[in-house]
Chains A and B, each alone.
Chain A
Amino acid sequence: MSLTHDESMYPKFAVVGHPNKGKSSIVSALALDDSVHISNVSGTTTKQRSFPLKVDGRILYELLDTPGFQRARRVLAWLQKHDVSADKRYEVVEKFINVHKFDVKYNDEIELLTPIMEGAGIIYVVDGSKPYGEEYEAEMEILRWTGQPSMALINHIDEEDYSAEWKRALGQYFKMVRTFNPMKTDREQHISILESMSQLKEEWITPIKKSIMLFERYQEQKIYRSAGNIAKLIHQSLGLIQKLSFDTEEVLDTDKQKVEEKYKNTLRTLEKKTQKQIEIIWNHQQLKKEQAFLTFDELDLFSEESASVFGLTHKELIFTGVTSGAITGAGIDLLFAGHTLLLGGMVGAVVGGTGAYFGFKELSDIKVLGQNLGKRYLQMGPMNNRNFPYILLGRAIFHASHIATRSHAKRSIEDLSIDKHFKDKWLDDTLRKNLEKHHKLFRSGNTVDMEAISTYEGLIETVLKKLVG
């Protein structure tokens, strides 16, 4: 299907520059896609790659990752051989493309100049952590010859800062010079760059503004999808039942250990599966291949450390048990119109508190079932431990918030330090009470109304919004 004139008139931006100056990182960060690869040898990117922002199949704008300049001086020399006035220079560039279309020598230049000559705005990327060099001038001059709207982005690959000298040089060639660190980018910075891009051409202001609004919506979509996956994880994990059949007369300890291990492994698998789904939601598919950086390999789901970082303290746990028990008890009081002299609430609080205290260590009872039916089996689950949902939820929220804020330009596997006070950032007393109501429901093993799951999703969504923004 061919595009109509209007449909093909969306803004395009070609990200160009010297090789290895972070073009791909910038594209990754702006397109929220970590699938941009960097070769181990520079100059091996020979094809432009398109990253369109699409809404229902309609492109709003397109980012193009291009190969770096390889023979800028030769191209400029060819262009300068043509003595033309400024208004005819773009024709010379077009002629260069036509003449050298099939010349492998100029493959990279052709790849990067073609979209520009087709109307793409220029985003020229330099590394502000390295000194300015005169070899860049040929590249900037070629771009000037194209006559297309352009801006420069100063990237900071390393710590050193040569921005001032870069700004002085770039200012002579580009309408706009901005600093952008794709490794530390956040939503605000992302939007600010998009706004700058829209300023390159008047016709681009509206589509880019629309794109910015869509990015906001896209963020919301990703947050509620993550919340949905986390809610599903908690619901499934708490209601999980693991069975193991056995033939011996007596139940052996090894069988009990086996069923427990199986139970724990299933929970670990569920957690990893959710982590993968969340990585996909946030376009961090590459983490799959590079070994997910955040699988908590060093911090097992059932470790003491995990419980101490993500779980509730004994005090909080008892308090949660007391309040949730008291709520149940209060229900009894309400049923009898207070004629129980509020004893229901008091008894509920004690029972809830005691249950919580004793429930800190054990995960679930191991029951022997099927005694009368001939085929006996051990059953573990649903989850009894009141702390477990908070540990699992804390880990899931921690993972999701880091994935959501991780720049797509990052390719390294981070050694993530666990913030010991992470829990304080998202869990307060009110939320804990609300969560506990749901955890109790999930732990019951009964069919849970979708509405309850939706409410639970809503609670997680609020937390993620607060953490991710």
Chain B
Amino acid sequence: MSIKSYLNLYQLQEQDKTTKEERRSFGLSYSGLQNKHIKQLTTWIESRYDTLSHPLLSETFATYLYGLTFVLVILGFLVGFFSGIALLSYNGTSPVNVVYFMAMVIALPLFTMLLSLFSMLKAQQTQSVLVHLSPAYWMEKILLLLPHRFQFDIEGLHINPLLSNWLVIKRSQFIALFFSIGLGLSLLMMVATKDIAFAWSTTLQITPTDFHSFLLMVSTPWSGWLPSAVPSLELIEQSHYFRLGDRLGEEMIKNASSLGEWWKFLVCATLFYAIFLRFLVYLLASFGFHKALEKSMLSMDGVRQLLRDINEPIISTNAEVRTEKQEIDISGHLQIALDMGNTYTIVQGWAMPEMTIKVLNDSLCITASFVYEVGGSNSLKEDSLVISKSKGTVLLYVKAWEPPTMDFIDYLEELVETVAKVIVTPIGTEENHYVTTEKSMKEWERKLATYDNEKIWLQRINAQIIEEK
């Protein structure tokens, strides 16, 4: 996984047109990766790679980034190399002060590595000052000076600040490593090609014994297995140099051959502090970068949803076919009986026991010669018998709360063929004193109106009628 994976995912997210079903289908195809988010993302990128539009953002960005890094690495190496040569230049009169070189290969790396460690700790912050100190940070700025086409290619690209910080940190370590290698090489080259008289000199009141103790501490990492690379007190005393007089002391000239012994110490210091430790910091930065890359991929806009879509089953409970609301056009006419008469020859009750019909008649002051129960538990034959006995005007009670079924309509159609008039009277429940609700009346009205038969009448029973009765 590299910055390219991040950028490919970024581009995929920008151009994403996949449906939830496609994402889930991917999740099911790679069920072994269930909830292994990073692995899922990298596999997702691979599977969708062909859909990315060209030029690939990752290719464009990586080409320029690697190009720039390469230039900076070469520059770092050259600066290191020539700094080494400059520091080790020996004109034959003044000796080479090892303190300069030590500052370059021990103090400077330790200081910059410390800064790097701090910047790693602070990498989470969007505006990290420490990161901005790094030369690699300025690469980003240099990018802006690049040809217009490139700027166009990466326009709108927003790299996660955490990742861009780690990118800078990692590349800084890489450049610094090559700087150190350049420095080390220059040392080896100068030592091999020149007879350098090393000495140490400082304005500070440091005695050779103090300096020896300090160097013993510095040489700890290699003193055990390479004691010759640890300067002895004798060598330190012999190579103590004072600028006053601007020439080599007699003691130094006398021990000219041993002055060169410093090179072993300087090589070891360079190898350990400038190169080995820097390499360790580089590895640490690479590890941090990798983690930042994972974190940035997971926190990229839309990725959380993508992973959820991949891992979560698609659950649906709704109807497969959506329907539109049906509005039946009621164009038929229905006659409404405004006045409820008192006497009927035949009173029928749909799905009502005879007793209930009689109680109803009594309550509504209706006098009936014949009372019949129809529908309900009656057989169809029994209903036909009732129809055959019916004539004139029939008062037909129905339960208002029960919508008219086709069974009732069949009966009604058969009835109206025999009689002169049917007054359908929906009634409410006994508990409601037979008063019907507006909703149920509308239901009956709409249904009966669709038959548009002049023999069918509807009688509304409201509270007023009940009261009058």
Residues of A within 8 A of B (CB): 18-20, 31-33, 35-37, 39-44, 49-57, 68-74, 77, 105, 108, 127, 130-131, 133-135, 137, 160, 214, 217-218, 221, 224, 228, 283, 446-447, 449-451, 454
Contacts and interface: CB of A to CB of B under 8 A. Distances in A.
A218 B317 contact: yes
A44 B447 CA distance: 10
Interface in B320-373: 320-328, 330, 351, 353
Given A33-B317, A49-B321, A228-B304, 11 more contacts: A52-B316, A54-B316, A57-B314, A73-B380, A74-B407, A160-B429, A214-B313, A217-B312, A218-B315, A221-B312, A283-B318
Contacts of A54: 314-317
Nearest to A219: B315
B320 A217 contact: no
Given A35-B318, A160-B429, A160-B431, A72 B447 contact: no
B135 interface: no
Nearest to A36: B319
A449 B299 contact: yes
Nearest to A33: B318
Nearest to A54: B316
Nearest to A131: B429
A137 B379 CA distance: 12
B264 interface: no
A373 to B, nearest CB: 20
4 closest A-B pairs by beta carbon, nearest first, are A42-B403, A70-B406, A33-B318, A450-B299
B174 to A, nearest CB: 26
A217 B377 contact: no
A137 to B, nearest CB: 6
B160 A449 contact: yes
A134 to B, nearest CB: 4
A42 B407 contact: no
Contacts of A71: 405-407, 410
Given A43-B406, A74-B407, A450-B299, A133 B429 contact: no
Contacts of A51: 317-319
Contacts of A19: 403, 405
Contacts of B327: 39-40
A39 B326 contact: yes
Contacts of B319: 31, 33, 35-36, 49-51
A417 to B, nearest CB: 24
Contacts of B28: 56
A446 B125 CA distance: 13
15 contacts: A19-B403, A20-B443, A33-B318, A37-B323, A40-B326, A42-B405, A43-B447, A53-B315, A77-B379, A133-B351, A217-B312, A283-B318, A447-B126, A447-B158, A449-B299
Nearest to A446: B126
Interface of B: 24, 28, 126, 158, 160-162, 295, 299-301, 303-305, 308, 312-328, 330, 351, 353, 375-380, 399, 401-407, 410, 429-431, 443, 446-447, 450
Interface of B is mostly: loop
Given A449-B160, A449-B161, A77 B317 contact: no
A56 B23 CA distance: 11
A344 B294 CA distance: 36
Nearest to B353: A134
Contact of B299 (A52, A55, A56, A451): A451
Contacts of A57: 314
Nearest to A77: B380
Contacts of A108: 406
Contacts of A221: 312, 315
B277 to A, nearest CB: 28
A153 to B, nearest CB: 18
Contacts of B314: 54-57
A73 B406 CA distance: 10
A186 B90 CA distance: 91
